Structure 1
């Protein structure tokens, strides 16, 4: 078994622990977000299982590991780190944006190499803006129905900083030319019949 998958399984167990803590505390946003992250963490191994191991799925352990780590840091944030540790939100946005940018970058390197860098940066920022809009919508829906929002909006300054750190994460991927998920992108493009 791949060492990254073993570590990802350990982080996945920690995610289950975070889910239990959120449930015990009655922290609905932490429970919902951690459950979503657990589902996302299971997608790469499920793809490997469905499509078989081999060169085509060689990047899946890295994707599983990166998703589990980013998700665990987010889960810790939902359990209180966002309020108690001033830089925690910046860390999670940087890491999550880097993961997203690495996936976009890999896909664009396969489909349209000439725009891979710009596309990864712009795509990550566009999705970051959508996330921030989602936080606003979650707040509005929660206020309207008098429920706890599953995503928390901390204000305009926080939104601006979130987007700055999204850009930092994406920029690191492009500047360092990180091709961690290139095999996954090649496999996905072949499997989908796009190219």
Structure 2
């Protein structure tokens, strides 16, 4: 526990250092990405504190989530400073690590929430739901990158997220699936104790996330189609 906490703090510090490097280089996109990664890395600690005040009881997020968020954020922030362009496999690594985190949370959430939402055992549907949902979130992210590129070109500003072409998009989605399949192959249920503390809220978050991903993807595809025809 102590070692994991120290590792999480080290990764958070590393992300903040990368943010300072990006600011010094006047790399706006890298700075914004590092700032976002830093906020996400701190989110479990902030949520623990906030929920303890709101619910008046101790809420344990555990050591794994902060470390995983920190690792994913550090790898992405480092990539934004040049490794995405100079190291061909870096993008594959970051997508696999990030997608595995998303899949692990979805896997645990499905196992815990389906009995609450539908009154059925969530272990059976967990695998297909995890793969499909991870892929859908990957598509959602790739569409955000496309929108960022279009916005950058239209307003002549540096995009916060960079789109490297359709071949790269296909590879990204492929490694998103690799991350999800790694979770299923190892039957990794490390986040089940976390989401079991909030079974009803977990179900609501899963449904809300699904609505945002589906609705947002449709809106972005319509918008991109209109932009391309203009």
Q: Which runs of 5+ in 1 are unaligned?
A: none
Residue 150 of structure 1 is matched in structure 2 by: 160
- Corresponding residue to 1:186 among 193, 196, 205: 196
Whole-Å separation in 1 of the counterparts to 2:74 and 2:138:
19
Name which one, 1 or 2, has greater alpha-carbon Rg: 2
Q: Which runs of 5+ in 2 are unaligned?
A: 115-121, 205-230
Give the Å deviation of 1:188.
Answer: 2.8
Give the Å deviation of 1:51.
Answer: 3.5
Residue 125 of structure 1 is matched in structure 2 by: 135
Structure 1 range deviating more: 181-190 or 63-72: 181-190
Instruction: With a CA cutoff of 8 Å and minimum separation of 6, indicate the structure with the bigger relative contact order.
Output: 1
Residue 10 of structure 1 is matched in structure 2 by: 10
Residue 175 of structure 1 is matched in structure 2 by: 185
TM-score normalized with structure 1 length:
0.93
TM-score normalized with structure 2 length:
0.79
Aligned pair count reads: 192
Give the Å deviation of 1:60.
Answer: 3.0
Cα RMSD over matched residues?
A: 1.7
Give the Å deviation of 1:192.
Answer: 6.5
Residue 139 of structure 1 is matched in structure 2 by: 149
Give the Å deviation of 1:4.
Answer: 1.1
Residues 20-39 of structure 1 deviation map (CA, whole Å, 9 limit, x = unaligned): 00001111111111111111
Give the Å deviation of 1:141.
Answer: 0.4
| Contact 1:4-1:62 at 8 Å conserved across structures | yes
